[in-house]
Structure 1
Amino acid sequence: MRTVGVDLAAGTPGTALAEILWTGRGARLARLEIGIQDADIVASVSAGDAWLGIDCPLGWPDAFVDFVGAHHADTTPSLGPVEGGPDWRRPLVYRRTDHVVFERIGRWPLSVSTDRLGVTALRGAGLLRRLAEAGFRVDRAAEGRLFEVYPGGSLRLWGFETKGYRVDAARRRALLDVLAARAPWLDLGGFAPLAIAKADAFDALVAALSTRAGALGMFARPASGALDVARREGWVVLPDGAVEDLAPGVVGRVSPNS
């Protein structure tokens, strides 16, 4: 089994990819690179055993899409008359899955419709098209081998102290030390210096671990009534359980020897 984690940015320089190989004896970080192009990501999942986790929203809020379309056509959006206040605009700002993220970790993720993250999501939309054209099943609701992941959220749910880790290499070093102690079955393969030096590479590693949680089915899926919405807006895979539960031999959606 292979899990591929991608910290996607609007451009190639800020994009990182991590690949972890899982066997019945352990897990090894076999690849960690920065400066990743879309073609690199597509190629990384060309073999059938790959699971892919992307740190990027896979869609926009339904209400936002409707509002922009109505505004463009000069018609009334389904939300009714434009009021502009915070309560009125919240459905335009956050997706259904973002509300679940807030409930789980106590903070709102960045908004794909009102933050600069939207620029990255535009690249992500093109990447999804390229993956589909290459034969990789694209399902935004986490029903296949593709997951939307949130490294910072995964770390918090696993009990790691995340304050400042994106901007402080010392914090990333400390986090890797804790990870090594809690997951002795994970061989970083000499890539620790890169993960410490570059926050994008660190998040790609966490994305690959989060993808393992998705592959094992260790996450809350969309409720049946929200499934259609998740297929359009995307669904964040937030891991249930501890990082220790990702160890080889755990029984989940995949073989216990994976």
Structure 2
Amino acid sequence: MLTIGVDLAAEAARTAVAWLDWSGGRARLVNVRTGADDDVIVEAAMGAGKAGIDCPLGWPDRFVDFVTAHRAGHVQVPAGLAGRAWRRDLAWRVTDQVVRAQTGLTPLSVSADRIGHATMRCAVLLAELAWRGQPVDRRGGGAVVEVYPAACLKRWGLSHRGYKRAANLAGLGELVDRLREAAPWLDLGEHEPLCRASDDATDAVISALAARASALGLATVPGRDQAKAAATEGWIALPTTPLNSLVA
């Protein structure tokens, strides 16, 4: 089985893709690409059993309704709410609020933060995959699944902070060390130096691991009361088992 991970940014310069080949009780990192453009991402996803994308797959339904109402001049504040209380469901999706409740981590707001630019790019990628015949289910049941590397690391008992950007290269190196210790079956091969030098590459690898968890049914899925929103907003698949379960 081949899974890929995509650390998606608004532009190719900060985007990375990782390919993990799963066989013989091991996972081998066969390739990592930084500076990945749309064509690289689409072709990688077309050839994978599952693609984990570190980016929101949609916007909050209530935010979309709010913008539509604003365009028509009919915005109304829900009765009994004021300030931040009524804006919460505009800023955070159902899945974002579930992740915060389960992990203590708060995903970036796709409607009120710069990650919205990456989501615009992601929307085009999803449309292209669907046009090419790939099943696209924002709940995670199709060719792609939304992942959140920081939450994955936390659930797997690894450090999830202090490894981003050039100023934290030492922290990135420590994370790679801990990841190799926790997953001795993970072979980074010739790509290990890049993982130690680029947090984008490392996040792509983590996203590919999370894609494996989703493919094996070892990640959260929306419940009945969450499925409708997840179908349009997207759903972050959180690992539900230890890291070693991915090769069990």
TM over 0.5: yes
Task: Return the alpha-carbon distance in structure 1 between the equivalents of residues 103 and 195 of structure 2.
Answer: 24
Out of 81, 94, 100, which is 1:102 matched to? 100
- One-letter amino acid matched to 1:181: E
Retained in 1: the 8 A contact 2:150–2:161?
no
| Aligned equivalent of 1:69 | 68
TM-score normalized by the length of structure 2: 0.95
2:207 paired with 1:199: no
Counterpart residue type for residue 72 of structure 1: R
Deviation per residue, 1:32-89 (Å, 9 max, x gap): 1101111111111323x52101000000001100000000011235x53797611110
Aligned runs of 1:66-215 on 2, under 5 Å?
Answer: 66-77=65-76, 80=78, 85-167=83-165, 168-215=168-215
**Counterpart in the other structure of 2:21:** 21
Q: Is the 2:105–2:151 contact (alpha carbons within 8 Å) kept by the matching residues of 1?
A: no
Contact 1:145 1:215 in 2 (8 A): no
**Distance in 1 between the 2:118 and 2:161 partners?**
23
* Separation in structure 1 between the aligned mates of residue 81 and residue 91 of structure 2, nearest angstrom: 14
Contact conserved, 1:42 with 1:134, CA < 8 A, in 2?
A: no
User: Which runs of 4 or more aligned residues in structure 1 lie more than 4 Å from their structure 2 counterparts after TM superposition?
Assistant: 81-84
Long gaps (5+) in structure 2: none
Q: Residues 17 and 204 of structure 1 are in contact (CA less than 8 Å); yes or no, is this contact kept in structure 2?
A: yes
Give the SS at the match of 2:46.
Answer: coil
Q: Which of 162-171 and 148-157 deviates more?
A: 162-171
Percent of matched pairs sharing the same residue: 45
Give unmatched runs, 5+ long, in structure 1. Answer: 251-258
Secondary structure of 1:54's counterpart equals strand
Higher fraction of helix:
2
Q: What does 1:5-44 correspond to in 2, within 5 Å?
A: 5-44=5-44
Aligned residues: 246
Give the AA of the match of 2:27. A
Is contact 2:140-2:235 (8 Å) kept? yes
Partner of 1:191: helix, strand, or coil? Answer: helix
Please give the per-residue CA displacement for 1:105-130, whole angstroms capped at 9, x wherever unaligned: 11211000000011111111111111
Aligned equivalents of 2:193, 2:125: Cα separation in 1 = 28
1:119-176 deviation line (CA, Å, top 9, x unaligned): 1111111111111111111100112231000011100111112221113111111111
**SS in structure 2 opposite 1:97?**
helix
Look up the SS of the partner of 1:202 in the other structure.
Answer: helix
Does the CA contact (< 8 Å) of 2:60 and 2:94 recur in 1? yes
TM-score normalised by length of structure 1: 0.91
